[in-house]
Amino acid sequence: MKHSLSILALVAAQAAALATPALAAPEGEFVVAVHQEPQDLAAQGAYKEINAPGLRNVLETLIATDPATGAYMPVLATGWERVDDRTVRVTLREGVTFHDGTEMTAEAVAASVSFVWSPDNSFTIQEYAGPGVMSAKATGPLEIEVSSTEADPMLEFRLTLTGISSARQIAETPAQHFSHPIGTGPYVFDEWVRGQYWTASANPDWWGLSADDAYGAGAPLFETLRFVFRAEGSARNAMVRTGEAHLATNPSPEDCEAAAGNDGYSCVTGPSDAYIYGRLDQSLHAHPALEDMRVRKAIFHALDYEGIADLIGMASVPRGQLGTPDMLGFVETLEQYAYDPDMSRQLLDEARADGVDVDGLTVEVVGRNTTPRVGSVTEVIGFFLEDVGVNAKINVQLPDVFNPRVRIKGYAEEAPRAMMQVHVKQNASGEFGTNLLGNYACPDIDDPSGASRSSVHCNPEFDAKLAEALTLSGDARDAALQELVAFLYEQHPIIPLALLDKGYLIRDTHDYAFGVDHRFLAVNVTPKP
């Protein structure tokens, strides 16, 4: 019986092999006009679309996130399981080699993970570090254990950010690690010409060519990739229009609108992990009127969210929370606050009748000048507030002025105020935990660099529940976070203004499908017939 099954399996495997269409040899060059030159190409930056666009094509992670569902997907790992609240055991994919020819062993991966997360290196990825120090050790030929010195329910998430690179390079030529990435990805790094471009070639030995669970098209279709640095958006747009580039990152909404009526190129958009919100002062020495729920509610219902999303462009209306449905803690039943100016006026009248100093309130709507369309957005918010009878003044400030004002230290030094910060935030964590901690937990003036340094909200009861939720994992964490998100929805502390989409300009010769991660992957590009 066992023998018969073996024969059956062999026949099935051969049939499957015959049924698989032959993979076309990679050909041609695919040029991407990116918005900035990377500061470096170190593995720790593999998760960054902003600072190291394109790097994920060379360096892969153990697991990745599906942006549509938020589910973790296998990449260099084929399985992972919790050992305890500090440890995840990861089973590695067999037969993977680094671009320098070394085998992807458990020791190599463990060394790479530990290098990226070592506090000694102070890499910028530390902003996503957990409560403890993260490291990894080999526990078998193809098995590692990733652990943290503190209980860390988000270890799996942190692995989605961790680029895996050659351990031999880290050990023997560590300085090269920053300029010559050696990964396992579908493209092999070639050269970086400073100030101009970096290139990579198709990897003929990529594990995805023979694996049935590879991401994207499953094969590198282009002989070479070239990432050309063009800081000026109009110039990137022109590159796609002239055919100098096949794809350009970070188009403006105007670029995408213009592309809609053009034959030669188009704009593809997909969800991103960035959102724009209005944060109202409510703790410390905020104007007393903002402590009245009716006044806050009136402000929330005074804004036309559809109109604001249209104004920003490449944006959509959020669902009453600072995140997307793929995030852990997202509450499906919530809807965005309704635009109801009549209700706002009524609420303000009620507050006035009860002696709340509504007429003495002037909300300072302040945006940072790096926020998209910040001038128009702050102006329109000011208009909506004035329309229902709330005094408003608008202000757009440079980061040097704006940033200290949104931190607890700067807030404490200011006179009593009623500020609405119009701000963009990115949440790569895939869940509401860090989001809630950063935006809603009581800030501590004695800890000006603490996780809640930018929060203007304070509710000790909420903090206690949040602290408990952050120790949980899986469904329990999801449920606890949902409860907190639903609670905040009723408190009206921060206005979710819009969810920002990600977009690429692309020549009509190719299609792009947003796949794993939120980052540009050449294996997600397919030539049009």
Partner 1 sequence: MPYLLRRFLQSLLLLFVLVSFVFVIGRIIGDPALIMLGTSASETALDQLRENLGLNQPIWQQYLVFLGDLMQGDFGVSFRYGFSMMPSDALRSEGTPVLPIVLERLPATFLLAGTSLVFAFSLAVVLGCLAAMHPRSWIDNLVNVISLASVSVVQFWLGLILIIVFSVQLGLLPTGGFGSWQHLVLPALTLAARPLGRISQVVRSAMLDELSKPYISAARAKGVPEWRVVFVHALKNASIPIVTITGDELSQLLTGAMLVETVFAWPGVGLLLIDSLGRRDLPMVQAGICVVAALVILVNLAVDFAYTVLNPRIQMDNRGGRA
Q: Which residues bind partner 1 (CB under 8 A)?
A: 36-37, 39-40, 42, 44-45, 118, 120-125, 127, 174-175, 178-179, 193-196, 228-232, 234-235, 238-239, 241-242, 244, 403-404, 407, 449
CB of 170 to partner 1, least distance (A): 10
Nearest-approach distance from CB 45 to partner 1, in angstroms: 6
CB atoms within 10 A of CB 124: 12
Task: Quote the least distance from Cβ 248 to partner 1, whole Å.
Answer: 11
Least distance (Å) between residue 128 CB and partner 1: 13
CB-nearer residue toward partner 1: 52 or 202: 52
- Cβ proximity to partner 1: between 242 and 376 the closer is 242
**Least distance in angstroms from the C-beta of 426 to partner 1:** 13
CB closer to partner 1, 248 vs 418: 248
Min CB(65)–partner 1 separation in Å: 22
Using the minimum distance from each CB to partner 1, give the nearer residue, 228 or 522: 228
| 39 vs 509 by CB, closer to partner 1 | 39
- Which residue's CB is nearer to partner 1, number 435 or number 482? 435
Distance between CA atoms of residues 249 and 244, nearest Å? 14
Q: Measured from the CB atom, is 453 or 518 closer to partner 1?
A: 453
Tokens 């409860």, residue located: 483
Shorter beta-carbon distance to partner 1: residue 48 or 319: 48
Give the C-alpha distances (Å, rounded to integers) separating 244 from 195, 247, 438. 17, 9, 42
Contact yes or no for 418/289 (Cβ under 8 A) = yes
Gyration radius of the chain's alpha carbons: 25
Closer to partner 1 by CB, 37 or 292: give it: 37
Closer by beta carbon to partner 1, 344 or else 429: 429
Nearest distance from residue 512's CB to partner 1, in Å? 21
Are 189 and 486 in contact by the 8 Å Cβ rule? The answer is no
User: From the CB of 123, what's the least distance to partner 1, in Å?
Assistant: 5
DSSP 415-437: PSB-EEEEEEEE-TTSBSHHHHH
How would you classify the pairing of strands 87-92 and 134-140?
unpaired
Q: Which letter does DSSP use for residue 378 in this model? A: H
Using the minimum distance from each CB to partner 1, give the nearer residue, 192 or 512.
192
N-term to C-term CA, the chain: 48
Q: 286: alpha, beta or left, given left = phi > 0 and alpha = psi -120 to 50? A: beta
| CA 278 – CA 300 distance, rounded (Å) | 10
Cα-based distances in Å from 229 to 39, 476, 512: 12, 44, 20
Q: Which H or E run contains 480?
A: helix 474-491
| Backbone CA torsion sign across 461, 462, 465, 467 | negative
Nearest C-alpha neighbor of 498 from the set 295, 250, 311? 311
Beta carbon of residue 318, minimum distance to partner 1 (angstroms, whole number): 25
Residue with tokens 């809640």: 452
Nearest approach, Cβ of residue 26 and partner 1 (Å)? 24
- Distance between CA atoms of 352 and 331, rounded to whole angstroms? 33
Angstrom distance (rounded) from CA 446 to CA 449? 9
Distance of alpha carbon 294 from alpha carbon 349, whole angstroms? 9
CA distance linking residue 430 with residue 109, whole number of Å = 24
Least separation in angstroms between CB 441 and partner 1: 17
